[in-house]
Chain A
Amino acid sequence: MASTSNSTSSKIITLRSSDGEVFEVEESVALESNLIRRMMEDDCANNIIPLPNVTAPIFYLVIEHCKKHAEMKDNKEKKKELRSQGEELLKSDPHTYSNLMEAVNYLDIKSLMDLTAQWLADFLKGKSPRLIRELLKIKNDFTPEEEAEILERNRWAFD
């Protein structure tokens, strides 16, 4: 099942990340990206397609996710596996996760955009703003006045 992409003798597309690394990717996988699709339609297909906004490590990650996503379509276990990997990454390395989201957005891969957003949303559920900042290493950029105002206006609590 996992070898569906291999059995169809699909074309190989060459891509270059922003840090100069060259990737050879099966067409079926590369076409998940609307950006690459558009570039190919514009007849860049025979050359190396440059991806100036994506670094090699992030691109690895995107390809891996794309492959998994193609496999998981009707496979619940794969779905779970992919999900838990996403969650793991979010916990262990939130900055890479945000890079992944950014890259997926740049490459315009709709399915992965939805998935990564959903994982992040699930991760945020039930967490306080302070805990979210701490876990995702986000700087609190509200001025003390703003913070006080927000607090005064919306003092929410779980019941």
Chain B
Amino acid sequence: MKVALEELSKNMARGRRKKCHVPWPDLPLHLLELVSSRLPLIDYLNFRRVCSTWRAAAKQHNPCPDYPLLMTPGRRVGRRVDDDCRFFIKASDGKRCVMVLPEFGKRYSYVGCFYGWLLIGDLHLRHLLFLMNPFTGARIDLPLWDVTKSVYRATLSSPPTEPNCVVIILNFWYSNITFCRIGDNKWTTQECHLEKPEEALLFRGKFYILCHQLRLPDAECSSQPKLAMMKLPQGPHHSYTSWKCVPYLVESGDEILLVVKGYSRPNGAVDRIIVFQLDLSTSSWLVLESLRDHILFLGENCSLSLQAASLGCRGNRIYFTEPHHSGWWEFDMEKGSIVSISRRNGGHKYTNVNPPVWITPHFV
């Protein structure tokens, strides 16, 4: 066998000299794509930098389909924190890479992340609000913002590159919602009689808005976008008056989940997490004991739910972040335990304007 192979390689060498060969970049795009689709994120990014054909081939697909990375600010260089650097961390194994995003340290403040796009406010020109994909540098400007209002919660109806994408913005202290369609030249404000709106989520073509109280049974908003109101659950599980709780809405396996993070009194750390599922027929919340094969990633304006199997890990867990802290935590729903996951240099407190966000890289 070995002899045959040696002969073969001699033959090959001869043939190579005589015949024209296919240089790498001329390989059919789908073959290159077959290669790039097998690469983890960093190698995928390097692949894109080899030559223009490889770059074009790599565009066809997403290297980590659905796998969210935690984007956290600040790379420590000695004592100094480099504001323009962002870490991208894989929650499951803590592997991370660094990307330099100029202006992100001082000028841009992001509110959240949707479909791989950050919703960014410009701190210098405060009426500028735009969406940006940090992986491609693509930017989509939104209508000029009223600088007297702050952006508290936002959500998108679809990736902004799709037609008719609607951006909705809520503020805890306002009873109305503000929205625009990508390409509109101004924002539209719609009175909805909301009482302390907390979160919004697009589900089956409707924006579900979570409030502390409902003044109207269901806001009769016939106009676009379609809205549905929900009240926070009340009861023994949960009391909003006693101590700080933060609610998150997440779509998970065609259900609406409400996850409530409760903080303990003495040290202000998260000490319990309760998951509710919306009963759509009665509009009431049921306590959910298990997420089964799902994993939730919770964060300000960037929560998502994924099937554990597609990520190659165990389900029934929740990863969450805290504003002003670059670390993240894992809540094991089966054991009921909360574990802090920090690495060297990671897990430090910071006073950056930007919260850590879960981002699913998209390269289109």
Task: State the A residues within 8 Å of B (CB).
Answer: 19, 55-58, 60-61, 64, 85, 93-96, 98-99, 101-102, 105, 113-114, 117-118, 120-121, 124-129, 132-133, 136-142, 146, 150, 152-159
Contact = CB atoms under 8 A, between A and B. Distances in A.
A156 B85 CA distance: 10
A158 B46 CA distance: 11
Given A138-B51, A157-B98, A56 B11 contact: yes
Given A121-B38, A156-B45, A95 B23 contact: yes
A19 B24 contact: no
B16 A57 contact: yes
Contact of B12 (A96, A129, A136): A96
B66 to A, nearest CB: 19
A113 B31 contact: yes
Contacts of B15: 19, 55-58
A117 B12 contact: no
B35 A124 contact: yes
Interface residues of B, number: 48
Contacts of B99: 154-156
Interface in B54-100: 54, 87, 96-100
B29 to A, nearest CB: 11
B50 A61 contact: no
Interface in B1-30: 4-5, 8-9, 11-16, 18-19, 21-25, 27-28
A150 B49 contact: yes
A99 B96 CA distance: 35
Nearest to B10: A57
B23 A102 contact: no
Contacts of B22: 95, 98-99, 102
Nearest to B84: A155
Contact of B52 (A142, A153, A158): A142
